[in-house]
């Protein structure tokens, strides 16, 4: 049918060119208009039957693909924002936990420092007290030894002066009396 329309149009154009006039599409020939309309309708019907359904199907598939891609991109963006917020929340929690751990470590260090200082002071006080006791014991021992030596020297001096021998019992009694007298004398000097 299209071939007939093309042949008719070509025949009309050829006849017009033989007459010497230039062919024009807009020339008011009724035969041309009818054949053009028939050709146009035939082309529309052929395209409508064979070309447009696959083209429309492809366009609809493309439209659906674009719509799905946009929806998936939106879901992905929302999921990424959700994950970002979750990561930020975790980071904030981790920072606060780290700060709490550091503060707890500082408190523990302060407590340990105070305990060590207190233990050191206590140990020093104990050592000082022990040294005082040892000094007092050494002093008391030295004083007693000094008293014994003094008493012995005094007794020896007295014996030499008197030039007589004192028996051991009297000797012991004189030593004890001398020590008592020295203790009483040193006790009065301290007060």
pLDDT tens column, 49-65:
999 899 999 999 999 99
**pTM (2 decimals)?**
0.37
Cα(157)–Cα(151) distance, integer angstroms: 10
pLDDT number for residue 24: 61
**Highest mean predicted confidence (pLDDT) among 118-122, 146-150, 156-160:** 118-122
Domain assignment of residue 63, given as a range: 2-190
Cα(13)–Cα(29) distance, integer angstroms: 11
| Tens digits of residue pLDDT in 93-131 | 999 999 999 999 999 999 999 999 999 999 999 999 999
pLDDT number for residue 44: 93
What is the chain's length? 191
Reference 171, options 182, 183, 155, 160; nearest CA is 155
**Cα 77 from chain centroid (whole Å):** 28
Handedness of CA 11, 15, 18, 23 (dihedral sign): negative
What's the structural domain count of the chain? 1
């Amino acid at each position: 049918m299209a071939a007939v329309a093309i042949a008719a149009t070509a025949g009309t154009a050829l006849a017009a060119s033989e007459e010497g006039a230039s062919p024009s599409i807009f020339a008011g020939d009724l035969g041309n208009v009818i054949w053009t309309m028939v050709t146009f309708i035939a082309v529309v019907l052929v395209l409508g039957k064979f070309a447009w359904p696959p083209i429309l199907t492809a366009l609809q598939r493309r439209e659906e693909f674009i719509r799905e891609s946009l929806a998936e991109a939106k879901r992905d963006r929302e999921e990424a924002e959700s994950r970002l917020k979750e990561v930020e929340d975790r980071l904030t929690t981790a920072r606060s936990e780290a700060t709490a751990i550091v503060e707890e470590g500082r408190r523990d260090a302060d407590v340990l420092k105070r305990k060590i200082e207190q233990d050191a002071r206590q140990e020093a006080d104990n050592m000082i007290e022990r040294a005082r006791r040892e000094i007092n014991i050494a002093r008391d021992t030295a004083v007693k030894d000094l008293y014994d030596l003094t008493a012995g020297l005094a007794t020896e001096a007295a014996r030499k002066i008197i030039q007589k021998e004192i028996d051991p019992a009297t000797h012991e009694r004189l030593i004890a009396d001398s020590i008592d007298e020295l203790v009483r004398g040193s006790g009065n000097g301290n007060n």
